[in-house]
């Protein structure tokens, strides 16, 4: 049995190793024999693996040992090249088709505690009474403290029809619940409709991911908005959309961009019949008439979590001057992956190409192939030039990510925000407030609630201290240990008091932003996704800016360098 297991794992690894070398990273001289080198390296690796697993002083888990070896090898590449074993089918289904086997919960990590952050309507978790804020202590008898969040998600997921047992803590009491996994289907479009004054005719679509059904969902949604006969502008919200399938991005662009426009260029390498890797290039064009005529304004909303397929859409819309990009700079992922089927149900998500926007930009933020410390790459790609031109002659950049045409910050960036997030202050206060007010159904963060938040921070020793105040406190402690003079210590103490007042002023200067974040955090526990999106409209600075641009056609055309 042990021998069969060894053969199975070894064959799996062998095929993975061949796949990586065949499709990635080795450029050969004409006289090199790639297959001979692969065989030689595999023989060496196989002997090492066999010797260790059979003769090491302690008995090893051969499955985990080989997986560690695979992950170690892939870590020398980029983070998007990932090996999926036969247990990881749900993860791939989530990426490609937006569905997986689970119980209908989202989880987060707070102070090393796994907390249920969302319970989906209509699924098993909701039916069995799980709530947002419940703490998961064990899954199928395994204490999950210290286990990585991604691994915990895998433990929760599984084949529909199978059961999973949770040990839950709620209000300091524990109980067990057994849930039957179901097929969870995620909405690619969690919200769509008209926004603002009904006479404005501004359609809004929130797109959360790019799967095999995204194109049809977008097409249906746009047609529904058009059926109103009053669609005068469209806002496509790609914020926090981490991407998905390239084909879905191209399909959606076909619904927005005039026919026969270049949408995307991908470049990679392929091995020819003689065993030599050569450059390959593919161009994608719009092949159909768009659903919206060119005179209807389009706004794309992006932020720092907009990535991959989302950036393909935003980059093409920007380069072709088909719409205005609003928000903050996107993540910057300019690499394309393909999923390769291996044996025994395993798969490899493999980076095979770089993509370039229509103007020729490669928007990758981190060049793993240039910065790689392991030296496995024989050639290192560098893009010449950082500035490019759109169709209308506007300057756009390739310095990592898509830079918006109109930049609007959504959350306060600075020491106060970073300090409170590090302390997990918003999450903890939300739990405290809802425990104190269990009957609450809707929430508005008033000045009175803000004062309660300030008191909560002080009571729990989490009130904001500036970097200067912290440094002065450290100097004071050192001075006391070294028994400096009372005069010196008094001066430092006076400076700390002054610094405390300045810290409080700095904290109060972002009061309105803090109130909005408190409200968002509590709303996450009270409202479903659609309700949260709808409620955010009145305070969403990026969305409000997008609406103002759609309503002002002169401003819209001016941004795109069009003649009014």
Cβ atoms within 10 Å of 10's Cβ, excluding its own = 18
Domain limit, last residue, from 185, 219, 236: 185
In a domain, 422, yes or no: yes
Long-range contacts, 41-50 (Cβ 8 Å, 24+): 41/17, 42/14, 42/17, 42/18, 45/13, 45/17, 46/10, 46/14, 49/10, 49/13, 50/6, 50/10
**What one-character-per-residue DSSP string does 137-152 give?**
EEETTEE-TT--HHHH
Annotated catalytic residue 321: no
Average confidence (pLDDT) over 170-189: 92
In a domain, 558, yes or no: no
Judge if 233 and 176 occupy the same domain. Answer: no
In a domain, 343, yes or no: no
Q: What percent of the chain has pLDDT over 70?
A: 93
Q: Which one from 206, 277, 333, 535 is the annotated catalytic residue?
A: 333
Judge if 441 and 389 occupy the same domain. Answer: no
Cβ atoms within 10 Å of 344's Cβ, excluding its own = 11
Burial of 229 (0-12, 13-18, 19+ CB in 10 A): exposed
- CATH number of 303's domain: 3.90.226.10
Q: Which one from 192, 214, 308, 465 is the annotated catalytic residue?
A: 308
In a domain, 92, yes or no: no
Q: Which domain holds residue 358?
A: 191-338+351-410
Residue 482's contacts (CB-CB under 8 Å, 6 or more residues apart) are: none
Q: What is the pLDDT of residue 381?
A: 78
Judge if 390 and 518 occupy the same domain. Answer: no
Judge if 50 and 195 occupy the same domain. Answer: no
In a domain, 83, yes or no: no
Query: Which pair of tokens denotes residue 552?
Result: 């002002």
Burial of 473 (0-12, 13-18, 19+ CB in 10 A): middle
- Band (pLDDT 50/70/90 cuts) for residue 205 is very high
Judge if 395 and 427 occupy the same domain. Answer: no
Residue 522's contacts (CB-CB under 8 Å, 6 or more residues apart) are: 430, 433, 434, 443, 445
H-helix segments, 181-308 = 214-226, 246-256
- Band (pLDDT 50/70/90 cuts) for residue 111 is confident
pLDDT digits (tens, 9 = 90+) for 494-507: 999 999 999 999 99
In this structure, what DSSP letter does residue 539 have?
A: G
Count the alpha carbons within 13 Å of 245 in the hemisphere toward its beta carbon.
20
- Band (pLDDT 50/70/90 cuts) for residue 380 is confident
- Band (pLDDT 50/70/90 cuts) for residue 9 is low
pTM, to two decimals: 0.85
In a domain, 120, yes or no: yes
Q: Which one from 78, 319, 405, 540 is the annotated catalytic residue?
A: 319
Measure CA 230 to chain center: 34
Judge if 377 and 420 occupy the same domain. Answer: no
CA–CA dist 420, 426 (Å, integer): 7
Judge if 315 and 197 occupy the same domain. Answer: yes
The answer to whether 307 and 244 have CB atoms below 8 angstroms apart is no
- CATH number of 179's domain: 2.30.42.10
Judge if 324 and 179 occupy the same domain. Answer: no
pLDDT digits (tens, 9 = 90+) for 117-135: 889 888 999 999 998 889 9
Whether 10 shows a pLDDT value over 80: the answer reads no
Pairing relationship of beta strands 298-302 and 233-237 according to DSSP bridges: parallel
Domain count, the chain: 4
Average confidence (pLDDT) over 197-209: 92
Judge if 427 and 488 occupy the same domain. Answer: yes
Annotated catalytic residue 308: yes
Judge if 392 and 275 occupy the same domain. Answer: yes
CA–CA dist 452, 455 (Å, integer): 5
Q: What is the pLDDT of residue 23?
A: 45
CA–CA dist 187, 216 (Å, integer): 12
pLDDT digits (tens, 9 = 90+) for 512-543: 999 999 999 999 889 988 899 999 999 899 99
pLDDT digits (tens, 9 = 90+) for 227-238: 977 899 999 999
The answer to whether 359 and 319 have CB atoms below 8 angstroms apart is yes
Q: Quick one: angle between helices 447-459 and 425-436, nearest 10? A: 110
Judge if 268 and 384 occupy the same domain. Answer: yes
Judge if 114 and 233 occupy the same domain. Answer: no
In a domain, 564, yes or no: no
In a domain, 84, yes or no: no
Domain limit, last residue, from 185, 200, 235: 185
Annotated catalytic residue 459: no
Domain limit, last residue, from 153, 185, 217: 185
Q: Which helix (H) or strand (E) segment is 265 a member of?
A: strand 262-271
Q: What percent of the chain has pLDDT over 90?
A: 70
């Amino acid at each position: 049995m042990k021998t069969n297991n060894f053969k199975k794992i070894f064959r799996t690894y062998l095929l993975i190793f061949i796949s990586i070398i065949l499709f990635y990273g080795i450029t050969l001289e004409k006289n090199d024999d790639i297959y001979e080198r692969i065989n030689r390296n595999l023989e060496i690796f196989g002997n090492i693996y066999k010797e260790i697993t059979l003769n090491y002083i302690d008995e090893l888990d051969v499955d985990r040992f080989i997986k560690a070896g695979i992950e170690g090898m892939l870590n020398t590449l980029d983070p998007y090249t990932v090996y999926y074993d036969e247990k990881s089918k749900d993860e791939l289904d989530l990426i490609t088709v937006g569905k997986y086997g689970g119980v209908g919960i989202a989880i987060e990590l707070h102070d090393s505690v796994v907390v249920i952050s969302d319970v989906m309507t209509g699924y098993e978790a909701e039916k069995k009474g799980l709530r947002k804020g419940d703490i998961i202590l064990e899954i199928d008898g395994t204490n999950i403290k210290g286990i990585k969040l991604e691994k915990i998600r895998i433990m929760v997921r599984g084949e529909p029809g199978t059961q999973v047992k949770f040990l839950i803590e709620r209000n300091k009491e524990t109980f067990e619940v057994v849930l039957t996994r179901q097929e969870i289907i995620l909405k690619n479009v969690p919200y769509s409709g008209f926004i603002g004054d009904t006479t404005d005719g501004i359609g809004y679509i929130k797109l959360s991911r790019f799967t095999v059904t995204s194109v049809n969902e977008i097409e249906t949604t746009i047609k529904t908005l058009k059926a109103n006969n009053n669609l005068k502008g469209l806002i496509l919200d790609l914020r926090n959309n981490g991407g998905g399938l390239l084909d879905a991005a191209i399909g959606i662009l076909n619904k927005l961009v005039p026919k026969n426009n270049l949408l995307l260029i991908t470049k990679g390498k392929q091995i020819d019949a003689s065993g030599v890797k050569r450059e390959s290039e593919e161009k994608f064009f719009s092949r159909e008439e768009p659903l919206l005529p060119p005179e209807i304004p389009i706004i794309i909303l992006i932020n720092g979590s907009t990535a991959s397929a989302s950036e393909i859409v935003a980059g093409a819309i920007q380069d072709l001057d088909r719409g205005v990009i609003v928000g903050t700079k996107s993540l910057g992922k300019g690499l394309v992956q393909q999923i390769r089927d291996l044996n025994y149900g395993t798969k490899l998500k493999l980076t095979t190409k770089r993509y370039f926007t229509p103007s020729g930009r490669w928007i990758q933020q981190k060049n793993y192939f240039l910065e790689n410390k392991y030296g496995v790459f024989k050639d290192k790609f560098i893009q010449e030039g950082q500035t490019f031109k759109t169709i209308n002659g506007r300057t756009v950049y390739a310095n990592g990510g898509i830079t918006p045409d109109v930049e609007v910050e959504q959350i306060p960036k600075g020491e106060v925000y970073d300090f409170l997030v590090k302390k997990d202050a918003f999450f903890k206060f939300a739990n405290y407030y809802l425990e104190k007010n269990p009957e609450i159904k809707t929430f508005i963060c008033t000045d009175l609630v803000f004062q309660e938040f300030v008191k909560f921070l002080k009571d729990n020793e989490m009130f904001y201290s500036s970097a200067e105040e912290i440094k002065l406190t450290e100097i004071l402690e050192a001075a006391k240990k070294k028994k400096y003079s009372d005069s010196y210590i008094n001066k430092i103490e006076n400076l700390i008091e002054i610094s405390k007042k300045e810290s409080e002023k700095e904290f109060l200067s972002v009061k309105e932003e803090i109130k909005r974040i408190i409200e968002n955090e509590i709303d996450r526990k009270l409202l479903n996704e659609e309700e949260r999106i709808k409620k955010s409209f009145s305070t969403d600075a990026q969305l409000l800016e997008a609406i103002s641009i759609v309503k002002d056609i002169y401003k819209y055309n001016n941004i795109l360098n069009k003649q009014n």
